[in-house]
Structure 1
Amino acid sequence: MNVVPVNEAVSTETADDSRIDGNLTQLEYLALNSDFNLSDGHARQELTPGQGKMVGELPRLWAEAVVRPVEEIERESHRAFFHLLGQHSYPGADGRVLACYSSSVAMEIFARALVTEADAIALVHPTFDNIPDILRGVGLRLVPLEEDVLHGGDVPAELLGSVGAIFVTTPNNPTGRVLSRERLVRLAEQCAEHGVVLALDTCFRGFDEAGQYDHYEVLEASGCRWVVIEDTGKLWPTLELKIGWLVRSANVGLPLAKVYSDILLGVSPLVMLMVKRLSEDAADGGLRDLHEFIATNRALVRANLHDVPGLTFVDPDSRVSVERIHLGDRSAMDVWAALREHNVYLLPCGRFHWADPSEGDRMLRIALSRSPASVDVATRALRSVLMGD
């Protein structure tokens, strides 16, 4: 079967377009109109009653956003969000928190600033492929930092000496692994010793309490140069209305504010007020309910697939809103193509393994921030495909 470039496949349905050679976001794009899109990791479940109440308040929030100072709204918004997730030491009072349209925009700003002083960066492996794509896109050379090395002890001195920064996703997407407080303390110390910038992507922090210790307390005490990217978009089904926060140390020494001003002026104060209200609702029990919702959908996936021969669940302790499965000797792209015939979309994992895609060729990722009915139908279809029914 021929491989069709995504830019052709998106616009033209052909007999050959079930096999796609594209990045993960392009594959996710193909799934957007499906009722059984378990592809992208964005929140697409139904609104809870508390979230629905916030939607009902939008006219009032709009009127409030029109008259109040933007700086005041922004300060209240990031305080509510960061405190919800245990980040009480974040530097919210001295202009070191920049609001972006998304975490990808924040990442682009960081990459463009970093390349002014460095030509190489160590990146956790595996992780979502738009991160290496963005970093490579500004001309940075990527050095793989395997998860087992990252979590197992000190990062090798020779690696630290060869790069200008280390980039870690915690909790990681797709594995769900969380950098412990102990490991963050030591990693920050090593980065300070070598003059290396430590960058953290914490976009899935809200799903795992193990990742909600106060990272900023650790980072500020370490003296290292650091950047953290936070994200509201994975938690709440807000139709892509979200904020990516770009937070930096006082001594980071990178032109982040200048690059930020090259790209945007700021985000909508209406979205900031939405994030504030959603954070307050989450603090009032909504976050606990979200954890239970994701756990229920994960259990549903495992129940529907538990007896499929050769299939294993790769991340048994994961708490994030995605679930990986290993297909045994089956090709993930073959299964993806077969599922597409049923209008069901999961995500093949090859490109998560950006330094060696073959490592993910027999794995699929299932998004769990969906209605239980969609998860049930999609995983039953997957079971049928795998069992040859």
Structure 2
Amino acid sequence: MIESTLRLSTANLTELEHLALNSELNVADGHARQQLSEGQQRIIDELPTLFEKAAVQPVADLERDAHRAFFHLMGQQSYPIGPNPVLSCYASSVAMEILARSLVTKTDAVALIHPTFDNIPDILRGVGLRLVPLEEDPLHAGDLSSVVPPDVGCIFVTTPNNPTGRVLTRERLAELAAECRRKDVVLALDTSFRGFDTRSHYDHYAVLEASGCRWVVIEDTGKLWPTLDLKVGLLAYSENVGLPIPKIYSDILLGVSPFILALVERFAEDAAGDGLADLHAFVAESRRIVRTTLADVPGVSFPDPDSRVSVERVDLGGRRCADVWSALHERQVYALPCTQFHWADPSLGDRSLRIALARPHTSLRAAVRELRAVLLAH
């Protein structure tokens, strides 16, 4: 118990996710680990053919086709093409590193959404940027003139947010983009969980371009499909962004695997049929399993009733997440404490856990039953 608590107090969320990778009761990381659908299994059966295609087709064509299939699936018809094309990265965290290294050449401070996954503040701080917390309530409904502080060079928002699932509406994004233009501040969006929530499928790029603001968007394919973490992160930016993004990109990588680009195109095409709706139904059932299993546990509640993303926060009432996490760890069950999500004030997350929902339902039920037992014992 002491060893687990010490590890929890010093680890970041990715380190805690790594602990869980070999457990059958891993509900920690937000990656897609559910079973393949029938359509997805057919794609896996085609892997030799896809490999041959990737070996002979020009990379530019593969990248163009993968981008088009993915962005159109997400309702993003106005994504950049032409002189500033979308950059393909190994992962969204690589795109984040490129953005951070670009930002620090022009500014020393970023206003970052709070709470959010802790690798974002870690990456931004890692290049020397000072962070100003941007709370969700004023971001979504407050006075935007005060939401955008005068001493930052970038506003960074995750939408849908991880772990809360909150989504910027079209109207609010337009207002925020207009304010960023007025103050000449870069607006950066991380939309890695976009695929789970149709409320975020309006064309963000059309809104951003119409505003005239300087903007950057990070997209991710890795949360959607159970491809054993074969994925791409996508980095899009406006022509007027004023950041050395292409140069920093070239400092870090040449490009991504053409084979993975071919795989992304096929999975996006499958999702454009009934695949995305099936995924939404699967996640909704996973959320129902969590909520019904824990519904009668004293003190437990669910702070994000409208969330549709593939994670679910559980408010533990008076219980400390460190104690619950440690007890789960002894049972080889892994979830994430919410303390680290609250990067500016960890105490705000001291009474909640995050549960990953993109799991086979049998495994999820088993993990949540163990969580129920731990909660009833505390």
1:355 aligned partner = 344
Rounded to whole Å, the distance in 1 between the matches of 2:245 and 2:268 is 26
Shift of residue 158, structure 1, vs aligned partner: 7.8
* Residue 340, structure 1, aligned to residue 353, structure 2: no
1:139 aligns with 2:139: no
Tell me if 1:279 matches 2:268.
Answer: yes
Q: Distance in 2 between matches of 1:249 and 1:378?
A: 43
| Matched-pair contact (CA < 8 Å) for 2:134–2:147 | no
Residue of 308, 313, 316 corresponding to 1:319? 308
Whole-angstrom CA distance in 1 between matches of 2:204 and 2:7: 43
Choose 250-259 or 159-168, whichever is displaced more: 159-168
* Alpha-carbon separation, structure 2, partners of 1:128 and 1:253: 27
State whether residues 18 and 337 of structure 1, in contact with CA within 8 Å, keep that contact through their aligned partners in structure 2: no
User: Which of 95, 106, 116 lines up with 1:117 in the alignment?
Assistant: 106
Listed one character per residue, the Cα deviations across residues 294-323 of structure 1 (whole Å, up to 9, x for unaligned) are 000100111100000000011011000000
C-alpha separation in 2, matches of 1:296 and 1:106: 32
Structure 2: tracts of 5 or more residues without a match: none
Between the two proteins, what is the percent identity of the paired residues? 64
Q: Is the 8 A contact 1:107 1:134 kept in 2?
A: yes
Structure 2 residue aligned with 1:221: 210
With over 3 angstroms needed to count, the CA separation of the structure-2 counterparts of 1:241 and 1:158, relative to structure 1, is closer
**Do the aligned partners of residues 200 and 158 (structure 1) sit closer, same or farther apart at CA in structure 2, a change above 3 Å counting?**
closer
Q: In 2, Cα distance between the equivalents of 1:330 and 1:20?
A: 16
- Aligned equivalent of 1:330: 319
2:139 to 135, 145, 150: 150
Kindly state the Cα deviation for residue 154 of structure 1 after the two structures are TM-superposed: 3.2
Segments of 5+ residues of structure 1 without an aligned counterpart are 5-15
Match of 2:239 in 1: 250
Is 1:38–2:27 an aligned residue pair? yes
**SS at 1:122's partner residue?**
strand
Q: Is the 8 A contact 2:8 2:16 kept in 1?
A: no
- How far apart in 2 are the matches of 1:18 and 1:329? 22
Secondary structure of 2:359's aligned partner:
coil
- The residue aligned with 1:302 is 291
1:21 is matched with which residue? 10
Deviation of residue 160 (structure 1)? Answer: 3.1
Following the alignment from structure 2 to structure 1, what is the Cα–Cα distance between the partners of residues 2 and 332? Answer: 20
Find the aligned partners of 1:2 and 1:36 in 2 and give their Cα distance: 21
Secondary structure at the aligned position of 2:355 is classed as strand
CA distance in 1, matches of 2:85, 2:298: 51
Residue 279 of structure 2 corresponds to: 290
Contact 1:44 1:237 (8 Å CA) reproduced = yes
**What's the RMSD between the two structures over aligned residues?**
1.3
Q: Which amino acid aligns with 1:140?
A: L
Q: Indicate how the Cα distance of structure 1 residues 194 and 17 shifts in structure 2: closer, same or farther if over 3 A, else same.
A: closer
Q: How does 1:61-140 map to 2 (within 5 A)?
A: 61-140=50-129
Q: In the alignment, what sits opposite 2:374? A: 385
Q: 1:238: which partner in 2?
A: 227
Measured in 1, the distance between the counterparts of 2:6 and 2:340 equals 19
Per-residue CA deviations over 1:159-217 (Å, capped at 9, x if unaligned) read 43110000000000000000000000000000000110000000000000001100000
- Name the residue aligned to 2:249: 260
* Cα gap change, 1:373 to 1:2, in 2 (>3 Å): closer
- Provide the aligned length of Structure 1 versus Structure 2: 378
What stretches of structure 1 move > 2 A for 4+ residues in a row? Answer: 1-4, 16-20, 92-96, 153-160
Shift of 1:95: 3.5
Tell me the distance in 1 between the aligned counterparts of 2:8 and 2:173.
Answer: 40
Residue from 199, 210, 231 that aligns with 2:188? 199
Following superposition, the deviation at residue 333 of structure 1 comes to 1.0
Q: C-alpha separation between the residues in 2 aligned to 1:370 and 1:159?
A: 38
- Contact 1:81–1:275 (8 Å) recurs in 2: yes
Give distance in 2, aligned partners of 1:84 and 1:164. 32
Query: 1:366 aligns to what SS in structure 2?
Result: strand
1:79, CA displacement in angstroms? 0.4
Residues 233 and 240 of structure 1 are in contact (CA less than 8 Å); yes or no, is this contact kept in structure 2?
A: yes
- Give 1:340 deviation, angstroms: 1.0
8 Å Cα contact 1:315/1:324 also seen in 2: yes
The one-letter code sitting in structure 2 at the alignment partner of 1:335 is: V
Per the TM alignment, residue 2 of structure 1 is displaced from its structure 2 partner at its CA by 4.6
How many Å apart are 1:18 and its aligned residue?
6.4
Matches within 5 A, 1:172-183: 172-183=161-172
Q: Distance in 2 between matches of 1:316 and 1:153?
A: 21
Aligned-pair CA distance for 1:241: 0.6
Task: Note the 1:155-174 alignment, pairs <5 A.
Answer: 155-157=144-146, 159-174=148-163
Amino acid at match of 1:150: L
Is 1:366 matched up with 2:330?
no
Aligned-partner SS, 2:34? coil
Distance in 2 between the 1:34 and 1:277 partners? 30
Instruction: Give deviations 1:86-111, integer Å, cap 9, x for gaps.
Output: 00011123342000000000000000
2:38 maps to what in 1?
Answer: 49
Shift of 1:77: 0.3
